[in-house]
Structure formats: C-alpha cells, structure tokens
Amino acid sequence: MKVAVVGATGMVGKVMLKILEERNFPVSELIPVASERSVGKEISFKGKSYTIVSLADAVEMKPAIALFSAGGETSKQWAPRFADAGTTVIDNSSQWRMVDTIPLIVPEINADILTVNDKIIANPNCSTIQLVMVLNPLHKKYGIKRIVVSTYQSVTGTGKDAVDQLEGEIKGETPTKVYPYQIFKNALPHCDVFDEETGYTKEELKLTLEPKKIMRVDAMNITATAVRVPVQGGHSEAVNIEFEKDFNVVDVQRLLSEQEGIVVQDNPDTNNYPMPIYAEGKDDVFVGRIRRDFSQRNSLNLWIVADNLRKGAATNTIQIAEYLVENKLIKL
C-alpha cells in the first residue's frame, strides 16, 4: 500500500511516521511530502531511506492514502487533487472539519459513518478529540445539557517555532516570538486568532462546534476558554458537565474506565490524577478529578489530559486509516 505523509518534516508529520512504524501499518511504499525547500532530502522509515517529493509528484504517484498535516491552505488546494486521483485523504487541518459532506472522525465514536466514497476525511482539533472521548459515553448514559471547558494547551500545539520560543526563554535568550507575549512563566488566554464577531478564538469555536458533529448531537450547549501554557507534553482540560439525568460518581468512574482508549487516574489519597508529563508519548486519554459539582443540579467536574501530537493528531489519523483498511474501504 502506497502511503503519502504530507508535511513529513513537521512536528505532527514526524510523529505520524513514528506511529506508522510502531503500529506496523501496512506501508509497502512511503511517499514523504514536504515543502519545496525539503524536496530531494531523505528521511528514514523502518530502516530504509525515502526521498522527499513535491505535492505534484506525490499526486502522480497515486498513493492509496495521504495523511495530511501541512496546514489549511495546503489542504484546501491539494486534498481535492489527491481525491480526484483516487487517493483517500485524512486531513489534520481545520479546512474540512465543518463541511457538511466531509466526515469528522474519532474512530472510537463515529467511524461507522465512513464509506468507500469518502475521499476526504477530517481529523478533529486536538483538544476536541480528548474531550469527546470522555463526553461520548457520558452523553449516551446521562444525556448532556451543557459543557463548560477550559483548556491548558501545550506549546507543541502551535508548532516547532513555539517550542523554540519557550526553550529560548527558559535559557534566558530572546528568541523570535511566535506568541504576542513571553510564554515562559506565563499563561496566554489566546489560542489561534480572535473571531471579530464573537470575541472567541478559533480554537474556542472549534471546541464548541466539532463535538456536536462528531457525537451527532445538536441540542448540546458548549462554551470554551482556551489557554496556552508553558508545557510541552500535552493538553489539559478542566470540564464541567450538566446532565439531563442524575449520576453516581463511582458509576461514572467505572463507565469511563471501561472505554477503549481512556485511562482513569482518580485517587486523591495517593495524589493520582492526570498530568501532561505522564501523558506525553502515550496514545490514551487520561481522566481524573471526577467529582460532583455541588453548585448545580446533575453536574460533574473532571480533568482530561492527552498528548496532543499523538491521540490529538497523529494517532487518531492513523487509527482512521486502520479502520479504512480493516473494513476494506480503501481501493488499492
């Protein structure tokens, strides 16, 4: 199976290559794709060297699957061209997520909607993925009325230049600023750009819109505040949920612990709770601090952490590809 990785030299692209290897995805020929300045260079995959090619050349090579992580403009221009050539595109950008005809997929939740005719498939926002992994089973049992989510997002969500800014500031240097302010010893309530009409950032709007599409629920109110923090290991979320039905906290813990891809870490007696430093490099979504909100009827507080480069991006993308292969939805 020919597999193209578009954005192979970027942070997510590199993790995609690592996970393809870790999970032994059936790659017969890898087609690494990157910007023009990287074309002709080589990368290593499963002990072999592969030459980076251009987008135009990759289309001509007709891969079965193209995993995109190269930004919205690249996806807007090139994903349809790959699709027209018969390639199934799984895209990490926000370009296609809210397009009605494009499936937005978290495999544990809604992969069942995929068909052989879906040639462009959207991978959700990293913060959305870890959120819906926890929300979905709870909604099925108790019915969610309203969600208030506050995120504490790693600089890796912005990219390598943001990591360089943080590392430079830690060393006392004056690096090029990706953020409008210093990120070291700071917290910025500013993820992505501000939407003039609402005053929310685009990241916050993604969190309010994407879960409804993934979970196939219209009547669910969500509001979000997204904050960038000086962390490299993953994203964290403080979530308050109001349910239609009452619940027992022990039952909630048990329900979540039974879900594929979720690990419950929730023992205050031993200071056992999710943290980015432990989630880094792992594919699971970690949840803890599960407790009743005594200020509001049928309401719950919890804390969710995941590695945003893995389950929040690369792993989820490859899980979609695995589902397509396993269910014979890819034309080889």
Kindly list the catalytic residues: 126, 235
Q: Which residues pair with 60 in a beta bridge?
A: none
> What are 64's two structure tokens?
């079965």
Shortest CA distance to 283 belongs to which of 263, 301, 256?
263
CA distances in angstroms from 239 to 57, 105, 303, 304, 309, listed in the order given: 45, 21, 6, 8, 21
Task: Give strand ranges (E) for 154-298.
Answer: 221-228, 235-243, 262-264, 285-292
Q: Which residues contact 277 (CB under 8 A, 6 or more apart)?
A: 233
Q: Which residues pair with 225 in a beta bridge?
A: 150
**Angle at 15 (CA atoms; ends 238, 106), nearest 5 degrees:** 50
- Which letter does DSSP use for residue 124 in this model? P
Spatial contact of 235 and 246, defined as CB atoms under 8 Å apart: no
CA 321 distance to own-chain centroid: 15
Number of H helices, E strands in the chain: 10, 13
Q: Which residues contact 238 (CB under 8 A, 6 or more apart)?
A: 149, 150, 152, 301, 303
Give the separation between CA 256 and CA 34, rounded to whole angstroms: 39
- CB atoms near residue 206 (< 10 Å): 23
